[in-house]
A = this chain, B = another copy of it.
Amino acid sequence: MKASRWASREVDVTGSGRRKRADGQESQRRILDAAAEIAGERGYDGTSISAVSKRCGLPASSIYWHFTDKDELIAAVIERSFETWLAAVQLPDEQAGDPAERAAAMSVGVAKALLETPDFLRLGLLLTLERRPTEPTARTRFLQVREVARDRVQAALDALAPGLPEASARRLTTYALAGADGLFIAHQIHGDDVDLLEMFALHARLLTDAIARESADGAGSVP
């Protein structure tokens, strides 16, 4: 920290001059905060340990005390970001309202969480789209987490329309997630020109209609 005369490196970001005699958890948190911001903006390759070090104020070597390597660091970022994001999602009361209303409420809950903590999905999508020679642990982790989300959506869908054929359910679940991803991206591009809550509500409505029809059809094959 005692930057030499010619090369200034980390800065005392906290403002507290007194070196805290090692608070592992606090340091880890600062590292993850920094890494989450950067990785959410730049993806895997764009996230350098030295950039994280600069942003969190700890030397690069300290990052390696807490995480074995970059791969694990970014995996940890995804995990913690997911938890944060999940905490932000407020699911509607299972009992309340009719099914369609519940679906809309769920949808809007997700949208709100995305507005509050967008880094999670941004990084997740970046990891998903990138094809590195050795797949990062973080990517695998994100896809696992996404699979869990997928299962929940499908469960909600089954609750909404118990008679829906398996194939239809899978298709509509895929469509539900795809809409969420796509609308999130639209919001990334156009900022608040795209009203994410409104768009998610529209998405929920179209989905509800589709469920209704495919339920009635019985078959649900798309000609």
Contact status A203-B181, CB under 8 Å? no
CA distance A194 to B173 in the complex (A): 11
CA distance A179 to B181 in the complex (A): 8
Within 8 A of B (CB), among A153-185: 171, 174-175, 177-183, 185
Contact status A182-B188, CB under 8 Å? no
Supposing A6-B76, A202-B171 touch, asked if A188 and B24 sit within 8 A by C-beta, the answer is no
Within 8 A of B (CB), among A40-97: 41-46, 64-68, 72-73, 76
Question: Is A201 located at the chain interface by the 8 A CB criterion?
Answer: yes
Question: Is A16 located at the chain interface by the 8 A CB criterion?
Answer: no
How many copies make up the complex?
4
28 pairs across A/B with beta carbons < 8 Å? A4-B24, A6-B66, A6-B73, A6-B76, A7-B66, A7-B72, A41-B131, A42-B45, A42-B131, A45-B46, A122-B129, A125-B125, A126-B126, A128-B188, A128-B189, A129-B129, A129-B188, A146-B189, A171-B202, A175-B203, A177-B186, A178-B199, A181-B181, A181-B185, A182-B182, A201-B222, A202-B210, A202-B222
Q: Within 8 Å CB of A174, what residues of B?
A: 183, 186, 190, 194, 199
Chain A contact residue count (CB 8 A cutoff): 58
CA distance A97 to B50 in the complex (A): 59
Most buried by B among A132, A178, A209: A178
In this complex, what residue of B is CB-closest to A28?
B4
Contact status A4-B189, CB under 8 Å? no
